[in-house]
Structure 1
Amino acid sequence: MKNVLIISDLSYLEPIKDSSIVVGGRNPYASTFATTTVGPGSAFAVAGALAIGDDTYTSTEANTTVKDLGSLEYSKAYATGTAYGKIGDEIASSTVRSYSGSYFGR
């Protein structure tokens, strides 16, 4: 049997009329990762990016290809991640690229 929680009366709640931004530390942060792997008939690519700051930018791209070339097979994987964070005059940035490619005989 599953446990079920039912909330039927929320009349005691009040709407928030004012809000403010919560600011954590004062240091920007940027981190990226990318991984690629290929094998016969397979290709794997993954990328991630994280940025913390008042101004931030992140971008990721991952592409894979597997081609049948008759007696050979070609697999390739490409992944890239970029992150940028800025607070005041302090900047943190990170970029990573990963590529794997190989031919496999049948």
Structure 2
Amino acid sequence: MEPTDIARDYYRHVDAGAYDALAALLGDSFVHVRPDRTIEGADEFVRFMRDDRPLTDTEHEVETVYEADGRVAVEGRLVRATGARMFDFVDTFDVTDGRITRIRTYTD
């Protein structure tokens, strides 16, 4: 699977609450660096997304996906179920051997 497809699947799985499928995308040493926290470990990240995420009734609208040398950058916005924009984001993905090892999120 191409790194851009893996990044797109990441958003589909998060938005659908498909946590087993999400876990399958993540490498063992996965790290997510967000403006509000850093989450280390695939299991910890999936647990956070499933149990502790403040809002789960949201959708990632992906605008543009860029790829170079196994790294992917995604521009988009997070919207509420009503369609109201919450914020814009850029996520950068490191993909190694077909699995996401790191995501860094920038928000506006």
State the TM bucket, normalised to the shorter chain: under 0.3
Structure (1 or 2) with the larger CA radius of gyration: 1
Structure with greater strand share of residues: 1
TM value normalised by structure 2? 0.25
Structure with greater helix share of residues: 2
TM value normalised by structure 1? 0.25
